[in-house]
Structures are given as C-alpha cells and as structure tokens.
Amino acid sequence: MSFVKRAVLYVARKRGKTLTLFLILLVIATAALSGIAVREAVATAQLNVREALGGTFTLQPNMDDPSKWESREASAGGVVAGTQQVFTGERITNDLGERIMGEVDGIKGFNASWSNAGVPQTLDGEFLELVGDGEGDLADAFLQSYGDFGKTVSLTAATDTRFDAYFAKGYLELIEGDPVRHDSGNGVLVSEKFAELNGLSVGDAFTLKQSDVYDSAELKDTDTVTEVRVQGIFREVAESTAGFSGWSASNTMYCTYDTLTSVRPTHKEDGFDQITFHVDDPADLERIVADVEAGYNGSDDFTVSADNGEVESVTAPLENMDRLVLWLVAGVLVCGAAVLALVLTARVRDRMHESGVLLSLGVPRGRIVGQYLVEAFLVAALAFAVSVPVSAGVAQGLGDGLLEYASERGAEGGAGLGAGGAGRAGDASGMTVVDSSSFGLDFEPNTNLTDIRVTVDGRSAAIAFGAGFALVAAAVACSSAPLLRRTPKEILGKMS
C-alpha cells in the first residue's frame, strides 16, 4: 500500500484528530488571509488618498516681492481719490496653466481659480433665496445691514472644476450636468440644496450681479447684471463651515473667469489667484515641482508649493491600522505555528509504535514522514479552501473595526484647503477688502477617502496558502525529528 493511500485512510478514519487539525489550520488560514486582504486594501486606500490629496501642487503670484508692486492714482468720477498699490507681476491665466502642462511631463490636469462675491437674482430681478439666512448670527446680521451685500454668494471662477480642490478631495460631488471648464460660457454649478430651494434644474437661467455696496459714479450694480444658466448641480459630501452663511458651500457657485469678471468688472485684469496642478503619479511630485520651479521661478513672479500636511493627517489612521494588522497577523501566526507544532508532535508521538513497525518492515523513513506530510496537506487544503469564504465575511468587519480603533487613537484630521488661494491687495486707504481668502471653507476630514473595501482575491489567497503550506511542512519536519533520529529497535524497545 502506498504512503499516499495510507494517509488518505488515516485522515478518514481518525475523524476527531482530523477535525482538531482542521480547526487549527482554519483559524490560521483565516487570520492570515484576512490580514493580507486588509493590508492590501489599506495600501489601495493610501494610494487613493495620495492621488486625491498628495498628487497636487499650487502655483501662486509672488505677492511678497515689493518690486512687483507700484503706487498708482485712484480716481472716482474723474477726481483723484488717493493712491492704490497695484501688483505688476505676471498674471495667472488659463494659457499659463496649459503652457506648463505642455512643457512638464507627468501632469494630468489643472484648475485655475479665483473667488469673489455676487448677488443671484431671477430673470425678473428678484433675489434668489440663500440656504440658511444666518438669522441670529451677529456677523451675518452686520453684513445684512450693507445694502444687498447680505444677499451675496461665493462665486469661484474655475478653468476645470474636475480638478478644483473641493471636488478632487471628495468634499463636493457633481451629481447632475457637466463640470465647468474654461470654455463653458455662461454655465455655472450650483449646490443641490440651493437648486432645490429655488426650484432650479440643469438648463435653467438666472442672473448674477455685483453688490450695490460697490456702486460708483462710473459703475452701478445694474450695469453688471449677467445672465447665467445652470450647467451642473453638486452635492456636499463633507460638513463645512464658512465665515458668512451666504458664502457657505451650499451657496457657493462655480463659473468661468469671463462670467465672474462680468459680475465684478473692476477685477477684469487681475487674473486668477492660483493654479492647482494634479500629477499622474504622486511619487513624481517632487521632480515635477522642481521642473516647474526651474522654468517659472526665475522671474520671481510665482511661488510653487506642495503641501503634504493634509495627506499625512488623513492617512495617519491608515498607517496606524496597517501596523495593527501586521502585529495582529504576526501574533496569530506565531501562536498558531506553536499550537500546530505541539499538535503534530503529539500525533507523531502517539503513532511512534506504528512508525517503528513500518521501519522494521523495511519502509523507508522518507515514506513515513511523507505520509505524515500528505495527511497534514490534505487537511490543510480543505481548511484553506473553507477559509476563503470565511475570510471574505470576516475581513471587511476586521478592517472596519481596526480602522475605527486606529482613527480614535490617530491624529485628528486637518481642515480643508480653500479654493480661492491667495488674496488680493488692500485698497488705497489701507483697509482690508474682500478677497478670495475670505471665501475659504473649512471642511471636516473626508472619511470617505479612508474607507477601505476589503476583497479576498487570488493574489491574497496565493500568498496566504503558500505561506500556510510552508508552515505545515516545517511543523511536520520538526515533529518528525525523533522518528528520523531513532532506529526501529530503539523505537519498539522504548514503547514496550
């Protein structure tokens, strides 16, 4: 009888011992397979976060350079009213962004942005309702006292909202229509809440104008009325706060540069505040930033920055979780290996008389050890096969639980970044004016970015099963050491 057939018969006959070995191997395989699957899911989530948050850099005008500013007379109604500081450096335009994309490899897209305020009205000149009127808020009440300034919303000019900071980071999600691009004409994006409140849908038209607080002898708010149409509707995925309820995410609108300068014509020549570039591979970010700095920092007109602070705060729970999974799987495997070795050693000891008889009959030691190995492999194969569906049910729960545990002990996430970027200059009187930095939103950390989807795939199973069979082979070899060292006479004499 071959040793393989003897192994099959032994496994079938000794059901109690087979079940014990099966359960031990099932626990080891499930823990190993779940751990590997969770770690791969964590690695995928980390890559997604780095692509969304870490694969970007920003180019802004260098407004800290005094040589880029000059004093010019400010007039009102043909009368000199003082002087104002004017930035004379190169302006940020859509053409600049396209030029950089064409010259530097590895950039997949960009969005140039600038934010300001505008008043939305119906085609008949009636004010549209804002989401949350700020009643009871002192700051809102103060702004409400300045003409129709309390009716203003945040308007962000964009060249491609797909690469806007809030959309790219998952804070906002386009649910209807198309994104706003450089050539979108009078198309605008509005929030789902604003659209529902005012009965707007994609294709509907309304108007925007500047607030009457900016009226002058040369320019009245009625001169800036600009008709726009709803090109898309977005949903707020994350909670956020704003300095003024009218400039909240729910009341934010995205439009083209031409639309915003039609609403605020005095800023027509100012250009965008910043360009945010998104790279194909976050690993290339340092090289790409260096290339852009080399080509565009020579004139000191621009500054280039890549801030990874938000990436680190968002990925901290994932990194903590990865360490937890590693230690958990290592602990289970070490304990499982020890228990497995003890169980197999006990099995070999119980069968030492049988082994002595086989040796005395001339059966080679290799075949006896081979029988033990086949027995263990048969049970292991069954346990590993069952562990696949078991792990599929366990792994997601394990991942979610460990992520929650790691998040509670990890660093708290930072606030979101504003889409507007740098602000504009103060006016001639030295007073602070409303600029893009005033429209920045503070978003709660987007936990959707760190959500993990754990799947047990063929690669995870191959790694776990390969390691499992190696562990079983090592345990069988160690437990068979007494058999390999003794002669049949020593074995049978000791047993008698």
Confidence (pLDDT) at 391: 81
Alpha helices (runs of H) in 410-487, residue ranges in sequence order: 458-479, 481-485
Q: Which of 40-44, 87-91, 379-383, 425-429 has the lowest mean pLDDT?
A: 425-429
Beta bridge partners of 80: 75
Percent of the chain past pLDDT 70, that is, above it, reads 76
- pLDDT over threshold 50, residue 121: yes
Q: The whole model's pTM is what? A: 0.64
Q: What is the overall mean pLDDT for the chain?
A: 79
386-410 tens-digit pLDDT: 988 888 777 777 666 766 665 555 4
Contact 57, 306 (CB under 8 A): yes
Angstrom distance (rounded) from CA 197 to CA 248: 15
Which pLDDT band, with edges at 50, 70 and 90, does 427 fall under?
very low
Contact 275, 99 (CB under 8 A): no
Give one DSSP letter per residue of 303-317, joined into a string. Answer: EEE---HHHHHHHHH
- pLDDT over threshold 90, residue 295: no
**Which residue in the block uniquely carries the two structure tokens 């300045």?**
146
Contact 310, 446 (CB under 8 A): no
Report which residue type is found at 274. Q
The more confident residue out of 201 and 362 is 201
Which pLDDT band, with edges at 50, 70 and 90, does 313 fall under?
low
Q: Which of 130-144, 200-214, 402-416 has the lowest mean pLDDT?
A: 402-416
- pLDDT over threshold 60, residue 212: yes
Buried residues in 378-414 as b, exposed as e (16+ CB within 10 A):
bbbebbbeebbebbeebbbebbeebbeebbeebeebb
Tell me how crowded residue 119 is: count the other CB atoms within 10 A of its CB. 25
What radius of gyration, in Å, describes the C-alpha atoms of the chain? 34
> Quick one: tokens of 65?
């350079």
> Quick one: tokens of 368?
């006896």
Taking residues 475-480, what's their average pLDDT? Answer: 82
Q: Which of 233-237, 249-253, 460-464 has the lowest mean pLDDT?
A: 460-464
Angstrom distance (rounded) from CA 349 to CA 336: 20
- pLDDT over threshold 80, residue 191: yes
Which pLDDT band, with edges at 50, 70 and 90, does 81 fall under?
low
Confidence (pLDDT) at 404: 66
- pLDDT over threshold 90, residue 474: no
- pLDDT over threshold 80, residue 87: no
Which pLDDT band, with edges at 50, 70 and 90, does 143 fall under?
low
- pLDDT over threshold 60, residue 310: yes
Contact 258, 182 (CB under 8 A): no
Angstrom distance (rounded) from CA 444 to CA 446: 6
> Quick one: tokens of 258?
């031409």
Confidence (pLDDT) at 421: 40
Angstrom distance (rounded) from CA 244 to CA 152: 10
Which pLDDT band, with edges at 50, 70 and 90, does 276 fall under?
very high
